[in-house]
Structure 1
Amino acid sequence: MRSWFPTLARRTVASLAGVAVAVGLVVFAAAPVRAESGAGAGQAVAGDLATDYFLGTGDKLRVIVYGEQDLSGEFDVTGSGKVSLPLIGQVQAAGLTLAQFEKEVADHLANGYLTNPRVSAEVLNYRPFYIIGEVSKPGQYPYTNGMTVLNAVAVGGGYTYRANTDAVYITRGDGGEVQYPAMQSVKVLPGDIVRIPERFF
């Protein structure tokens, strides 16, 4: 008895340990992966306006054509999505980034008007955003650079007593409504429609 009992005990313990490791791997593999809801979520909503922002109706631009003061100035993006510029007339702006718009203007100017034109554009005033749903003063408001969903709620007069303060829905451009956490890290872009939902009791 004394000669084989320790060996049997060691084999039993080793076998149980192997089962425990296998079970642990199965549980780990089956565990759900949770989405991040911190700063990364805010970055996913909006990047750098200077590179990612698409122009739209209501934006006001400053366009500079270097060496050509008469062709430079401040211009509005009209309801047709275009900007009326001296010499070249209507140029598409809506749906383009600033870099794409600058190239569009330069291409127009290079087409029989200027040799190697250099164009710079910046947004002076962004188009407004909209906040609806469970806020005290829903409506259209001027956009300010760096705005977040909590800033938007404050501009809209704050939450009503029926508001769900944990979630917000944002409609951007032609896309559908997307849910985000109501956090300071979640950005709002010009033209966004921000909806504060009602909570369920």
Structure 2
Amino acid sequence: MDQFMRFTVLAMLLMLAACAGRVSLGPPEPEPPQSDYQIGAGDIVNINVWRNPEVSLSVPVRPDGKITTPLVEDLQAAGKTSTQLARDIEKALEKYIQQPMVTVIVTSFVGPYSQQIRVIGEAARPQALAYRQGMSVMDVMIAVGGITDFASGNKATIIRTVNGQRQTLPLRLQDLLRKGDISANVTVLPGDVLVIPEGWF
């Protein structure tokens, strides 16, 4: 009988745990994409060619997405990872250097447009920001200095494109920034556009 009671209690606990696993507290937050950083126009890349300091340097990625270094002209950098760019530079340098070993380190981040968060309207400093893993609306607001006195923060929206479909998601920036309502803090995704309209007084 004692074993039967233990078995019954164990079975009930397992059933409760299974039920608890199905409890939904609302729609899940979208998972930020797990991918390597892609270089974008405006980034600065540090190119190190082992044992060849004369061709090792830091260069900006031009608006056309290309870089120029000693011995290598007009090499596409935007849209590539640092590893991909390093292999491309090695191939280009093989004509001049025997078995070149190249390391590329991105030292200033902007990222491609598809990976940026753009903030327009009544932000203190409207701008495009490089997306970072796990970024939220609060992180974006800190980066742009918050909203102006003329902003209608609770009428702000995120414009997001998912599978080619454009979505408009409401934001409560006034509640988040002025009242400290953390429930108004939501995750942002690469390519999001935050629109902060002006309030009418």
- Does residue 154 of the first structure (1) align with residue 142 of the second (2)? yes
Give, in whole Å, the separation in 2 of the partners of 1:58 and 1:68: 25
Deviation at 1:156, TM superposition (A): 2.6
Give, in whole Å, the separation in 1 of the partners of 2:103 and 2:41: 19
Deviation at 1:59, TM superposition (A): 0.4
Contact 1:171-1:194 at 8 Å conserved across structures? no
Structure 2 partner of 1:130: 118
Listed as ranges, the gaps of 5+ residues in structure 2 are 1-25, 111-115, 172-183
Structure 1 partner of 2:96: 113
Give, in whole Å, the separation in 1 of the partners of 2:89 and 2:80: 12
Listed as ranges, the gaps of 5+ residues in structure 1 are 1-33
Q: Percent identity?
A: 23
User: Which structure's CA Rg is the greater one?
Assistant: 1
Q: In the comparison of the two structures, how many residue pairs are matched?
A: 152
Structure 1 partner of 2:187: 186
- Does residue 36 of the first structure (1) align with residue 19 of the second (2)? no
Change (3 A) 1:155 1:35: same
AA matched with 1:168:
I
AA matched with 2:139:
N
> Structure 1, residues 108-150: CA drift from partner, whole Å, max 9, x if none?
111x1122211111111112853114x4325226658665432
How does the TM-score come out when normalised to structure 2?
A: 0.59
AA matched with 1:120:
T
Deviation at 1:82, TM superposition (A): 0.6
Contact 2:123-2:151 at 8 Å conserved across structures? no
Structure 2 partner of 1:9: none
Structure 1 partner of 2:175: none
Deviation at 1:88, TM superposition (A): 1.8
Give, in whole Å, the separation in 1 of the partners of 2:47 and 2:161: 29
- Does residue 90 of the first structure (1) align with residue 74 of the second (2)? yes
